[in-house]
Structure 1
Amino acid sequence: MTTLEFSYSLNKLSSSLKPFAMKLTRDVDDANDLLQDTMVKAFTNRDKFTEGTNLKAWLYTIMKNTFITNYQKMVRRGTFVDTTDNLHYINSSDSLIENDAYGSFAMDDIQEAIDKLEDVYKTPFMMHFRGFKYHEIADRLQIPIGTVKNRIHIARKLLKEDLFVYRHKN
């Protein structure tokens, strides 16, 4: 395959690699960078491609390996190595200490959000949270099981909306 044919094939397949790049990075700019890195690596290593094999699979492999390599570099960059006599990682999870302030605020917000629920939603939700089965809740509240499921679903939805600020926090 000539350089021109190879370049044309790369260009043709680049659009099918974009969704895979998005799946890996979950960011448009990072996906574009990953796609560009993949194409550059593929073009510079075109002599390693065996004609007659699956070019698309080869490109997917390059992309996956590039992503993994970049991720490992990022993790290593974020790790500080102490070169004193102790020779240990400063940010090791074994020595992680938290002050629980964030957790305390979150629990207060969760309790406040639950308290704001109307009783028709709060009661079945709290019973389910405490371990009651749907049929047990239906028997105790003397309502149909479908109503129990619906009210718990609505309570979860309302809580999710009210607590959206905690969605992507650790």
Structure 2
Amino acid sequence: MNTDDSHPVQPCRTVRPAVPAGRKGDLSAQARQHLGNELRALYGSLVTDSQPQRLLDLLAQLDTALTARQKADAVAFRQGLTEALPALRGFAISLTVNASQADDLVQETLLKAWANQHRFLPGTNLTAWLMTIARNAFYTERRRRKREVEDADGTAAGQLIELPAQEHGMELQKVLQAMAVLPAVQREALILVGAGGMTYEAAAELIGCQIGTVKSRVSRARSALAGMLAHDQPAA
């Protein structure tokens, strides 16, 4: 599934954020399980939320570009894009920590994917292919701006998205705000492995880093997030 957008553009380096005092080292198995449950619940809320109408409209408009010769393959590809949209948007949110920016990134990704669908190898993972395009576009834009967008207090994440009403909605909102403080490379690794269920190997292939780098990013992200959420001693 080679594509001009499939080659990672972010340097493979391990970012080392500050870890709160007294919270160094690996988390206990109990703490990791508790944190993992919350991450999966958060990711589930993001990917099952209703998708923005402008993205659905964009997918519908792609039909107008079909020719009779292309139609069978293109319709199947469009269906795949529709099915991958929730996971793709959840991943975009984890990168941008801003709903509007995430939708812009998803729109750009869908248009690039449509224009390069001939490069996609049928039978391979379309969602992973789309995520690769999205992360490359995201990091390319960051380098173009030549600046880091910081959100030290989690304000942007607090305005990011209104999570579906549920029993633990407020707790998930806190997780979302804390995620915004993590470096983007750690957020994406944690979402892919800790919430999306990817193996370290699959995440490393998508990101374009060594497996050890992904493991390090996930470990540091878990420790920092647990520190912010005070999850070293989860309830039994």
User: Same fold per TM (> 0.5)?
Assistant: no
TM-score (norm 2): 0.31
> Using CA pairs below 8 Å that are at least 6 residues apart, which structure has the higher relative contact order?
2
State which structure, 1 or 2, has the greater radius of gyration over its C-alpha atoms: 1
